Chain A
Amino acid sequence: MDRRKTRRRAGQAGLLAVAMAVLLSGCSPEYMVLHPVGPVGRQELHLIMLSTVLVLIVIVPVFLLMFYIVWRYRDKPDNKAQYQPHWAHSKVLEFVWWGIPIVVVGILGAATVKTTYALVKPPENNVKPLTVEVVSLDWKWLFLYPDQHVATVNYCKIPTGVPVQFELTSDAPMNSFWVPQLGGQEYTMPGMSMRLWLQADEAGTYYGHGANFTGEGFAHDQFRVVAVGDENFNSWVQQTKQSYPALTQAGYAKLKKPSVMGEATYSAFPKGLFNATVWADGGQYMPGMFKDVPGGKPDKGMSDQGMSDGM
């Protein structure tokens, strides 16, 4: 009996050590989700913290209760604890444990709904947002700046303190656009245009990766988000326009072919490339997909141009 006990204690100590190591190391900056640098990631972290505390309130007593009961009511000849084999009902107790989880779910549910609605709005209302169109390809990320008319592959430059509206689609299998330090992910899906608000408050380079499995090259589907000051961002745009080649339809067709590649920069891209891609990949069958365009579909010229050789 004693040997068994020591063995169990050793096991528990081991577990505790592992758990502590995991918890303590959560302080290091490698834990991207726990170190957000923008309002979206911060709101999500807030919810993560709240939910962690709430579930701990339930499960810690369960653990304590379990260990106490097992210790107290072991089947040993000298155990003097009460034994009531037919004690099997208690209205009061059952009310308590139907009640506790209901209250917890109520609190967490309310917080969840609030945050869910908050995240579909821009994180900052007083600053004019930047729009970046994102096309996930096999296995690379294409970023189009419709207002700046530049494009990049596998890295995305954004100004700090400015809400960024990412418009997402895929011209390959579904993928998911995830920059953990800025905030949670959203899928990129062919034929559909999805939206995600993110914002970086500090300058820096942030890890991004496709989060949904897309086949052989998936493990290398990495990109960077580089947040810089407003000035820097504008001068980068100017510089890009002058010193890089333009992305052509033929160039896009080449990008689309499955491959893994480094970063690239383009001074221009075919007008309406994003909408044309969505349209050709099936957006034409999705009513109301193009909310910004009267009639819900991009104008004829755009789609023709996009479909000519891009597909």
Chain B
Amino acid sequence: MWEAIRHFGDTYLMWREGPLIWGSDVLILLTIIGIVFALTYLKKWKWLWREWLTTVDHKKIGIMYLVCALLMFFRGGVDALLIRTQLAEPNNHFLDAEHYDQIFTTHGTIMILFMAMPFIFALFNIAVPLQIGARDVAFPYLNAISFWLFFFAAFLFNISFVFGGSPDAGWTSYPPLTELGFDKGPGENYYLVSLLISGIGTLGTGINFIATILKMRAPGMTMMKVPLFSWAVLASSIVILTAFPALNVALALLLFDRLFGAHFFTIAQGGNPMMFINLFWVWGHPEVYIVVLVAFGVYSEVVATFSRKEIFGYKSMVASLMAITVIGDLTWVHHFFTMGAGPDVNSFFAVSTMAVGIPTGVKMFNWLFTMYRGRIRLTLPMLWTLAFIVCFAIAGATGVMLAAAPADYQYHNSYFLVAHFHQALIGGVVFGMLAGMYYWWPKMFGFQLDERIGRWAFWLFNIGFYVCFMPQYALGFMGMQRRMYTYPADLGWGTLNFISTIGAYIMGLGFLFIVVQVLYSIKYGKRDVTGDIWDARTLEWSLPSPVPHYNFAVIPHVTDRDMWATLKEQGRTGELRPAASDIRPIHMPNNSARPFLLGVCFFFAGLGFVFEWYVLAALALLGVAVCLLARSFELHDEHDLSADEIRRTEALSGRL
């Protein structure tokens, strides 16, 4: 018995690996105890189950995505600080190679797939149905499934560090390094399985929002009247549908290689690792556009609102979104110019990559000229947008520099590249997500996040960013490769690395200020009593904050692009208030426990595949099948909300 426990402890809980693991164990335990205690003490278990775990309401799903994204931002950020601490000085022994490799792998994977993705999905869910005048997304039940698949995939990925070991081959996971021959153990399986599970959920979200935007718009809202954020979500969803299948296929095939001895990517047996690399980047590059297009959408809303002006060149904006969608799918080879593709192929992909800069540049100018002759209010969303313009212009510039294939032979795998993609993803995506969070926060929760603390966060994060990443461009020119866990002292890399580490800590401090800001504002934040706290332009701001769960008591008829702004200008806002006689009962989808249970089943199936415990995997997959079957026999999955109840709710918010 004792022996068995010790074996389990050594193999799966990795008790011998030292304080890093023990510390994580303690933190996780404390968190779980804290959550359980709080829920029990406050008698919130039932509330949690009814209001959140079983909900199919897009607004609540959006909030859950947001909470997860912020938590994952924290986890990925801690990884980043560990990395930077290790690199602060030459020949450092803060982390050993094994832990360092695991941490940079989880940092990258979490930030892209478990932070950026849920963050954009949070905004998809929170804003899109309200912007286009819909009562929910096209498939609310599927929406809940997507969320729970993401949630349990993220959970599975996160426990790897303390249960069996994290993946350690980089977030790009190239074979042959990730084949069994070089990488035994469950770590890499964790990566493959959890990304597969969340990938299925992501595809669901992509389909859901394409259907929602194409089919659920309020009457009168033609495509050329759709707000630019919703256009951006449509573009992003299209890219999801073209790109994610490639990732899922690549992951599944590599999993077959590892678990069942297939040889899709083992070249010594006639497979081809280049196939993985191509599939990975056929997804991987468009993935950048999946996240950044949504951020572009946020900027378009924010710039127009806080310049009190129509967006400049709306048609150009839509055209450039679509151009990026198409061209973005044709640039993936620039991730491996240095793998001997030959000058023809390299030339094509160099030029196609530079070409993405054209529509992106157009968007930049259109944002600037939206502000031109406007009236600019420097609120938090606007500050982050301006910071984005500066940061992303530099990211775009270094991106074009990287696109010049022969120059890339020198940048590839160096810190120049690391600096570039952090600048694109932080300056483009994180800034955008934060701008979006600040912008729609009052709509979600009914109060505004404190501006003063927010400014501290803004300046710390921004200054920290440049202090952290500008030296990394220079380190690239000094020949420093990415993913080295330590470096010798004689190459002169020490000073710049030290500066970079200071920058990372300043960014971490900035993040803490955001946490403080949220906590402070829950109690003291300015309450939103009008529903239109920013004096904004689109339909969601015509509703009270927070929005009642049926969204619109009466679906509006849309006649104008910036509908709400136009009505305000012409003093016709009353038209969007429901008349008591117009209110009819509303069909609402029922809550369901099944999406959550499906997530649980996928989690255990995943765990089964990670450790090759096939009995567990089979049982869990059986659970998946039962959930799916039960759904197909569910004949009544919606209920009527009576007109009286709606009238009561509307009257309470003073709209009737």
Interface positions of A (Cβ within 8 A of B): 4, 7-8, 11, 14-15, 18-19, 22, 25-26, 28, 30-34, 41, 43-45, 47-48, 51-52, 54-56, 58-59, 62-63, 65-66, 69-70, 73-75, 79, 81-90, 93-94, 97-98, 100-102, 104-105, 108-109, 111-113, 115-117, 119-120, 172-174, 176, 178, 180, 183-187, 189-192, 194-195, 207, 209-219, 222, 280-282, 285
Contact = CB atoms under 8 A, between A and B. Distances in A.
Contacts of B534: none
A111 B404 contact: yes
Contacts of B485: 218-219
B357 interface: yes
Interface string B355-386: 10110011011101111111111100000001
A58 B389 CA distance: 13
Contacts of B373: 73, 81-84, 87
Interface in B143-179: 168-170, 174, 176-177
B410 A105 contact: no
B27 interface: no
Contacts of B473: 22
21 contacts: A59-B393, A59-B394, A59-B396, A59-B397, A62-B364, A62-B389, A63-B393, A66-B390, A70-B371, A75-B375, A88-B311, A112-B403, A113-B347, A172-B182, A178-B479, A184-B338, A184-B407, A191-B268, A215-B182, A219-B485, A219-B487
A146 B181 CA distance: 30
Contacts of B374: 73, 83, 85
B569 to A, nearest CB: 8
Interface string B475-509: 01111011111111001100010010000000000
A214 B413 contact: no
Given A47-B404, A190-B176, A117 B478 contact: no
Contacts of A209: 479, 481
B491 A176 contact: no
A79 to B, nearest CB: 7
A285 B267 contact: yes
A101 B313 CA distance: 17
Given A22-B474, A31-B478, A213 B491 contact: no
Contacts of B615: none
Interface residues of B, number: 105
Contact of B343 (A75, A79, A105, A120): A120
Contacts of A113: 343, 347, 350-351
The listed residue with most B CB atoms (<10 A of its CB), out of A30, A183, A186, A222, is: A30
A55 B408 contact: no
Contacts of A195: 340
Given A70-B371, A98-B358, A88 B314 contact: yes
The listed residue with most A CB atoms (<10 A of its CB), out of B97, B407, B462, is: B407
A32 B477 contact: yes
Given A62-B393, A280-B268, A213 B482 contact: yes
Nearest to A86: B310
Interface string B437-478: 000000000000000000100010011001100110110111
A66 B483 CA distance: 36
A34 B336 contact: no
A153 B486 CA distance: 22
Contacts of B338: 176, 184-187
Given A26-B474, A217-B97, 5 more contacts: A63-B393, A82-B373, A186-B340, A219-B486, A219-B487
Interface of B: 97-98, 101, 168-170, 174, 176-177, 182-183, 267-274, 307-314, 316, 336, 338-340, 342-343, 346-347, 350-351, 354-355, 357-358, 361-362, 364-366, 368-378, 386, 389-390, 393-394, 396-398, 400-401, 403-410, 412-414, 455, 459, 462-463, 466-467, 470-471, 473-474, 476-479, 481-488, 491-492, 496, 499
B474 A174 contact: no
